[in-house]
Amino acid sequence: MEISLRDEAAGTDFVFPVNPEEVRITRGKGFETMNILSYGEFDIATAERVREITFSSFFPARWGDNEIQPAPKEAMHLLTEMMNSKSPVRLMIGNMVNLLVFITVHDTTFKGGEPDDIYFDLTARAWRQPKVHTKAGSAAGGGNSGGGTSRPDLKKTPKAYAVKSGDSLSKIAKLELGDSSKWSAIYDLNKKTIGPNPNLIKPGQKLVMPS
């Protein structure tokens, strides 16, 4: 079983010289816990969690009488470069695993009796393509289409005033607009309701106030 990493952006391949004794793949179901009063806790299922792949091995300086390439320090630095890369790398484990991953943990151990060999623990997390959903009719789309949600109407609704007994246009202008001289602006907006004489307003009439 061969285990290798491929940095497709840089065109670099790396084959682990010594297979680990075991490879652990962790899968999990995502969930959120909600606490509802008088009923207790409930788990709400969400999407699948990101898979994690972990294994441990070592980079030997020599194998029998032959030197191993790349050398342990070079191999360690190469793994570190792949871990720090902002792009995912492809992890291949025999014919069982072939997927893009981020290397998230790369621990190194040096042992006293084997000063030239480098032991390591590696953790990789499966990479997922981010999906961004946009609403129809967004500013970038230039309008509403395909039955999407229409843009909210930002215009203010004109304020209306119900005429009371004893009211006059100047009195209403003072009360609503803070200036009795603005009675003519009220009259101009409500000529159809009031009629030709601005002094004849009737209780119950609905007058639109100037904005």
- What are 51-79's pLDDT values in tens digits? 899 999 999 888 766 667 788 899 899 88
**Mean pLDDT of the chain, nearest integer:** 83
Q: How far apart are CA 116 and CA 72, in angstroms?
A: 7
pLDDT given for residue 39 in this prediction: 75
Domain assignment present for residue 133? The answer is no
- Residue 169 confidence (pLDDT): 93
- Check whether residue 82 and residue 186 sit in a common domain: no
User: pLDDT per residue over 166-199, tens digit each?
Assistant: 999 999 999 998 899 999 999 999 999 999 999 9
What's the whole-number mean pLDDT along residues 78-93? Answer: 90
Q: 140 lies in a domain?
A: no
pLDDT at 34: 75
Q: Residue 85: pLDDT band by 50, 70, 90 thresholds?
A: confident
CATH number for 194: 3.10.350
Residue 65 is predicted with a pLDDT of 62
Structural domain for 178, as ranges: 160-208
- Tallying the residues shown for the chain, one arrives at 211
| Cα gap 131→75, rounded to integer Å | 34
126 φ, ψ (degrees, to nearest 5): -60, 135
User: Using only C-alpha atoms, what is the Rg of the chain?
Assistant: 37
Please indicate, yes or no, whether residues 121 and 31 belong to a single structural domain of this protein.
Answer: yes
Domain count for the chain: 2
The answer, as to whether pTM is greater than 0.85, is no
Q: Are residues 8 and 55 in the same domain?
A: yes
Instruction: Check which CATH number belongs to the domain holding 113 and give it.
Output: 2.40.30
Per-residue pLDDT tens for 116-149? 899 999 999 988 887 766 665 555 455 555 555 5
Residue 30 lies in a domain: yes
Closest residue by Cα to residue 93 from 20, 42, 184, 157: 20
